[in-house]
Copies of this chain bind each other. A is one copy, B any other.
Amino acid sequence: MKNVIGAVCTICGKMTEANPNTTVCPACGGILDIAYDYDYIKSKVTKEDMASRNDNSMWRYREFLPVEETTAAPKLRVGWSPFYKADNLAKYLGIDTLYIKDDGINPTASLKDRASSMAVAKAIEAGKDTIACSSTGNAASSLAGNSAAMGLKTYIFVPERAPIGKVAQLKTFGATVISVKGNYEDTFRISAEAIDRWGWYNRNAAINPYLMEGKKTVALEIAEQLNWKMTDYVAISVGDGCTIGGVWKGFKDLYAAGFIDKLPKIISVQAALCCPINTAAAAGTLEWSPMPEDTIADSIAVGVPRNPVKAIRAVLESGGITVNVTDDEIYEAMRILGRTSGVFAEPAGAAGTAGVKKAIEQGLIPKDASIVSVVTGNGLKDVNNAIKAAGQPLHVAPDMDALLEAFAEIGDPHK
């Protein structure tokens, strides 16, 4: 990889060689960060080159990605998701400029596809034919889908409480799904043992430094879709910290390579009752404490985050802000995203927008600021919560009088 210098430990700062099997720091066990030769990148690609590319996927940013030049992009078309100027929603929130990045429009319907596409590329570089992870959610389904398209086998370990809908998605993609009679910790332990025993490729965002490099492509796209003129803020929901870390890494890489001349402030949004990262970031410290996982937004219900350091640094380095939102505020954000913008988000996907609304109400963001809100997953992933958010239809008998009466009751002008 001519564009990669190595992998730097986020804890002890030591530089390590970056090979396809690289995981954590060999010196201290800390999480690694891929380090690039920005002069090399600058010599290979310009903003103008980018504009002429017709690769409508995250792989259009190959010079910024930690893969060999000869590594083929995996087959599923991940990324280059829609980017909307959300004028209706901006007006509703009383601000000037708001954009929505809808990452629910991805092959398996979440931002996690970006990490899984990278995982598949690196597994192939490592000569592996099998990838494994333990997860109940979007990471698992995106891994299974992206692997299937490349003919790789997947072993997915889920705790027995995993929702049957997600299991169905995994099974459809042909994963061997092992439902572990135990909790998440049991599941993780047996998966680690199996990965070790059979030498499968390990797709685990916190210990595999390449996955965050996949996730960072959402930031690269936002910048290009803004024609490289960055907004003041970018809002994102936060669970284990890998996604917000990836977003910040993406902007920093672009800044270092001279593609943008301003870094946005990161708005870190967590659930009010499950916000270990925000609590630490708000106190300006890397020291965090575990919390219970009490929120309907399952994708960010992480009481013991696996990547707290990169996440907290994203807030602190960017001069960003933290916002914690209640479940009711998340439901409200699901409704306003749908009604003003035609975007259907899962709860964690809408949480970023809930955070934007709350930050504006609390006066944390000036009304004339420009903001991007990232939607991280599709509402079809969690229809039960959509039902709770959206309310009931009118029930009417099939005649005009009944219809007029129903309209009158809800104050509809058609009466």
Q: State A381–B164 Cα separation when bound (angstroms).
A: 15
A105-B105, A387-B168 known; A180 vs B342 contact (CB < 8 Å): no
Across the interface, which residues of B come within 8 angstroms of A189, CB to CB? Answer: 398
Stretch at the interface among A72-80, A240-248, A311-319, A357-365: A72-80
In chain A between 392 and 414, which residues have their CB closer than 8 angstroms to a CB of chain B? 392-400, 403, 406, 410, 412, 414
The answer to whether B338 and A387 have CB atoms under 8 Å apart is no
Q: State A187–B403 Cα separation when bound (angstroms).
A: 11
The answer to whether A174 and B403 have CB atoms under 8 Å apart is no
The answer to whether B145 and A344 have CB atoms under 8 Å apart is yes
Q: State A343–B113 Cα separation when bound (angstroms).
A: 13
24 A-B pairs in the complex with CB atoms less than 8 angstroms apart:
A54-B54, A56-B80, A75-B341, A88-B149, A105-B107, A107-B343, A147-B342, A148-B339, A148-B341, A167-B387, A167-B390, A168-B390, A169-B380, A169-B383, A169-B386, A171-B392, A172-B334, A172-B335, A172-B339, A172-B386, A177-B393, A178-B394, A181-B398, A182-B398
Q: Does A356 contact B (CB under 8 A)?
A: no
Q: State A397–B194 Cα separation when bound (angstroms).
A: 13
Q: State A94–B343 Cα separation when bound (angstroms).
A: 40
Across the interface, which residues of B come within 8 angstroms of A343, CB to CB? Answer: 107, 149
Q: Please give the residue numbers on chain A whose beta carbons come within 8 Å of chain B beta carbons, in ascending order.
A: 51, 54, 56, 75-77, 80, 82, 84, 88, 102, 105-109, 144-151, 155, 158, 160, 164-165, 167-174, 176-182, 186-187, 189-190, 193-194, 197-198, 334-335, 338-344, 378-381, 383, 386-387, 389-400, 403, 406, 410, 412, 414
Across the interface, which residues of B come within 8 angstroms of A106, CB to CB? Answer: 105
Across the interface, which residues of B come within 8 angstroms of A75, CB to CB? Answer: 84, 341-342
The answer to whether A389 and B172 have CB atoms under 8 Å apart is yes
Across the interface, which residues of B come within 8 angstroms of A395, CB to CB? Answer: 160, 179, 181
The answer to whether A344 and B173 have CB atoms under 8 Å apart is yes
The answer to whether B146 and A342 have CB atoms under 8 Å apart is yes
Set B145, B171, B198, B378: member contacting A342, Cβ < 8 A: B145
Q: State A198–B404 Cα separation when bound (angstroms).
A: 12
List 12 additional A-B contacts (Cβ < 8 Å) besides A158-B393, A169-B344: A76-B84, A155-B414, A165-B386, A169-B386, A171-B391, A172-B344, A178-B394, A179-B394, A179-B396, A180-B398, A181-B396, A383-B383
The answer to whether B105 and A151 have CB atoms under 8 Å apart is no
Q: State A387–B164 Cα separation when bound (angstroms).
A: 7
A176-B412, A386-B168, A398-B181 known; A380 vs B342 contact (CB < 8 Å): no
